[in-house]
Amino acid sequence: MAGAGRILVWWDRDVDQAGRPIRPDVRLAGHEIWEHACQRTQALLDDQGPAAELMENSVAQVSRYLDRIGAPESSQKHGLLMVAFCRGLRRYAAKLKRLEFVGGSGELLSRTLDEAWVGHVNARLELERIARKLRDHNGAVLMLRAAGYEWEDVGQVLGKSPAALRISFWREIERVRRSSNVYRQ
């Protein structure tokens, strides 16, 4: 970040992001109002950093506008460019105010240290992968069991005996496990 006494530089280009030429009179006006634009940015945001991108966008915008209306080249583009810059600066400041920062880096670090959720997510993904390999009724059995249902409850939901469901389920799990081991070797 720039200090209060330092003035940044902006990347002055001959063409905009779309490859259209930028008018030299607008580029010159950008250089002439640059220091004032940095001061405005510092005053509004307490940071000069965004001024370069805002100036770049403003110069391209004003150049396109003047080309579209067929304005002749002249050296008096300062006011128009400053208006475009200040408008962009106000929009940028409003956008920053809409952002709601949750906490500092210390609080975020404490959240990343708790990686137990990664294990839960991986287990859930593995469970879904296995369920896709099972036949429909055994996939339903797996999901109901994972949700905490007992074998008796699963039997009632599916209208089958718990013992028959359990035997069918574990046979198919063994089949899936054997077929998965063949691919892993």
Residues of the chain with CATH 1.10.10: 117-184
Does residue 40 register a pLDDT over 90? yes
pLDDT band at 33 (very low <50, low <70, confident <90, very high): very high
Distances (CA, A) of 166 to 131, 134, 172: 15, 14, 10
Quick one: which of 173, 175, 146, 150 has its CA closest to 163? Answer: 150
Average the pLDDT over 45-61 and give the result: 91
15 forms bridges with which residues in the sheet? 21
Instruction: Say how many C-beta atoms besides its own lie within 10 A of residue 73's C-beta.
Output: 11
Structure tokens at 144: 């109901």
Q: What is the mean pLDDT of residues 144-149?
A: 88
């010159």: which residue's tokens?
28
Q: Which residue has the tokens 């583009």?
A: 77
Give mean pLDDT, residues 130-141.
84
- pTM of the predicted model as reported, rounded to 2 decimal places: 0.51
Query: pLDDT by residue (tens digit) across 61-109?
Result: 999 999 999 988 887 888 999 999 999 999 999 988 886 666 666 666 6
Averaged pLDDT for residues 98-125 = 70
Give yes or no for residue 115 having a pLDDT over 60: yes
Q: Is the pLDDT of residue 185 over 50?
A: no
pLDDT value, residue 25: 92
Quote the CA–CA distance of 77 and 31 in Å, as a whole number.
Answer: 11
**Architecture of domain 117-184 in this structure:** Orthogonal Bundle (1.10)
pLDDT at 1: 43
Mean pLDDT (the chain, rounded): 83
The pLDDT confidence band at residue 48, using thresholds 50, 70 and 90, is confident
70: part of which helix (H) or strand (E)? Answer: none
Q: How many residues does the chain have?
A: 185
Beta bridge partners of 21: 15
- Band (pLDDT 50/70/90 cuts) for residue 111 is low
C-alpha count within 13 angstroms, C-beta hemisphere, residue 124: 7
The answer on pLDDT for 184 being more than 60 is no
15 in helix, strand or coil?
Answer: strand
